[in-house]
Amino acid sequence: MKKALVVIGALLVAGVVAMAGLIYSGVYDVSALEQHLAPTYHVLDVAMKRSVKARAKDIVVPPLEDAALIARGRARFEEHCAQCHGAPGIAPQAFALGFAPAAANLVATGELWPARDIYWVVRHGLKMSGMPAWEFRMPDEDLWATVAFVKRLPKLSAADYAAMKGDASPAAEGAHPVDPERGRLAIQQYSCVTCHTIPGIVGANAPVGPSLAHLGARKIIGGHLPNTPANLVAFLREPRKYKPDGAMPDLGVTERDARDMAAWLGLQR
Amino acid sequence: MRAWLILALAMSIPAPAADAQKDKARLLLRQFGCGSCHRIPEVADAVGDVGPSLEKFGARTYIAGILPNNNDNLVRFIRDPRSVDPRTAMPDLGVGEVHAREMAAYLRSLR
């Protein structure tokens, strides 16, 4: 019995070492020109689907049959989805054809996936797949409108799709309390990490702009503004207004997102 | 002959010369009070939180968020910060060209 345990332990260690060697040697092909090896593809596909199911199971789906809601979704779909996923009678744009994995045809998704799973994927995105998280790009009402439209999609011919009118008016943003933890997510979602080192955020170690470590203790931000929450929010929303020659671009940060980011950054001391 | 001379010179510059340059730069950074606004590694009392930290400054892409980080640009910013960003809170500290070059070399060596 004891001997068997030793053997199993040794095999496990050997397995980990072999796996580490495989990874470090660079032998695995990360090119998007070819799909993953079949076993890898299936493992990732099952892991993705199980992960979505596990996380979406308690989501309460609102009524999705309302024509006005579907019309909103039609507009969001054309603005944000069709470029990569295509639409009935419309191919994805050229850049999107090179994705690995290829962006799903949402006619099939609408047919096969339950609404709550589609909502979860639209809202959260999928790591390493090219599917972005839309939570910070549209209000919840529009996320559901998009899902409502995707569920309707399989019933539309190409002509129906082309003829269908969208409602592009923006959804009203409700009032929200300031939430530093949401701010931490927003920092990831506005790609702050590609220029700044930010301790506390995984992968944020770029040296393009200054480190945001201890930002809560800083006296001056943007080179000349006193570091108050209101100034930080203003700078996050319109950096080029305060530093016209600066390399930091305006990222279209909303008031709510800027307030949450400023709250999280203010806690870093 | 000239090659020999250069080689001999290169070999005769021991590590302590580089250390001496760094010591001099640290002294200058202290003397111009840089540490009262910036964190600077291995400079005594340079723990200011007014402006950004200068840790790993050699790896930074931009100076003051505006100029590409090279020697000449850093010397220019140290000597005349307002010529780069008219609104900057960083004052003109009357740094001479030679001193600015010595400090810039040190900051750009931080990684």
Least confident range from A69-73, A146-150, B3-7: namely B3-7
Return the residue matching tokens 């993953």. Answer: A36
Residue B48: closest C-alpha in chain A: A218
Indicate the domain borders of chain B.
18-109
Q: Give the model confidence (pLDDT) of A178-194 as tens digits.
A: 999 999 999 999 999 99
Q: Which two tokens stand for residue A47?
A: 């892991």
Write out the two tokens for A80: 């944000």
The answer to whether A187 touches A179, Cβ cutoff 8 Å, is no
CATH homologous superfamily of B18-109 equals Cupredoxins -  blue copper proteins (2.60.40.420)
Looking at the complex, report in whole angstroms how far the Cα of residue A136 sits from the nearest Cα belonging to chain B.
26
Q: What ipTM was assigned to the predicted interfaces of this complex?
A: 0.74
Mutate to test the interface with B, among A194, A197, A212, A215 (most CBs of B within 10 A): A197
- What is the average per-residue pLDDT within A113-140? 96
Provide, as residue numbers in chain B, all residues whose Cβ is less than 8 Å from the Cβ of A223.
51, 64-65, 85, 87-90
pLDDT greater than 90 at residue A162:
yes
Asked if A243 and B66 touch (Cβ cutoff 8 Å), the reply is yes
Among A195, A198, A211, the strongest candidate for a mutation testing the B interface, having the largest count of B CBs within 10 A, is A211
Contact A219 B64 (CB under 8 A): no
pLDDT in tens, A15-71: 999 999 999 999 999 999 989 999 999 999 999 999 999 999 999 999 999 999 999
Among partner residues B50, B59, B84, which is closest to A220 by beta-carbon distance? B50
Tell me, what's the pLDDT at B12? 53
The packing angle between helices B97-108 and B71-79, to 10°, is: 130
Q: Which chain B residues touch A if contact means CB-CB below 8 Å? A: 39, 49-53, 55-56, 59-62, 64-66, 84-85, 87-90
Determine the pLDDT at residue A92: 95
**Is the CB of residue A179 less than 8 Å from the CB of residue A263?**
yes
The helix/strand/coil state of A226 is strand
Identity (one letter) of the amino acid at A253? V
Per the CB < 8 Å rule, is B62 touching A220?
no
Residue owning tokens 């993705």: A48
Local structure of residue A267 (DSSP, 8 states): T
- Assess whether the previous peptide bond of B81 is cis (omega < 30° from 0): no
To probe the interface with B, which of A208, A221, A265, A268 has the most B CB atoms within 10 Å? A208
SS3 state at A266 = helix
Task: Name residues whose C-beta falls within 8 Å of residue B6's C-beta, 6 or more positions apart in sequence.
Answer: none
Please name the residue ranges forming H helices in chain A: 2-25, 38-56, 67-80, 82-85, 106-112, 115-124, 140-152, 158-163, 180-189, 229-237, 239-242, 255-266
Read off the pLDDT band of B20 (50, 70, 90): very high
- Express each pLDDT in A205-260 by its tens digit: 999 999 999 999 999 999 999 999 999 999 999 999 999 999 999 999 999 999 99
CA A61 to chain centroid: 21
Residues of A in contact with B66 (CB under 8 A): 243, 245-247
Q: Do B61 and A207 touch (CB under 8 A)?
A: yes
The mean pLDDT value for B22-36 works out to 94
CA distance A74 to A137: 16
Residues B83 and B76: beta-carbon distance below 8 Å: yes
Q: Max CA-CA distance within chain B? A: 54
CA B67 to chain centre: 15
- Tell me whether residues A211 and B55 touch, CB distance under 8 A: yes
Q: Which residues of A touch B (CB under 8 A)?
A: 195, 197, 207-211, 213-214, 217-220, 222-224, 242-243, 245-248
Tell how strand A225-226 and strand A220-221 pair up.
antiparallel
Query: Is A223's CB within 8 Å of B88's CB?
Result: yes
Q: What does the alpha-carbon distance between residue A181 and residue A211 come to, in Å, rounded to a whole number?
A: 20
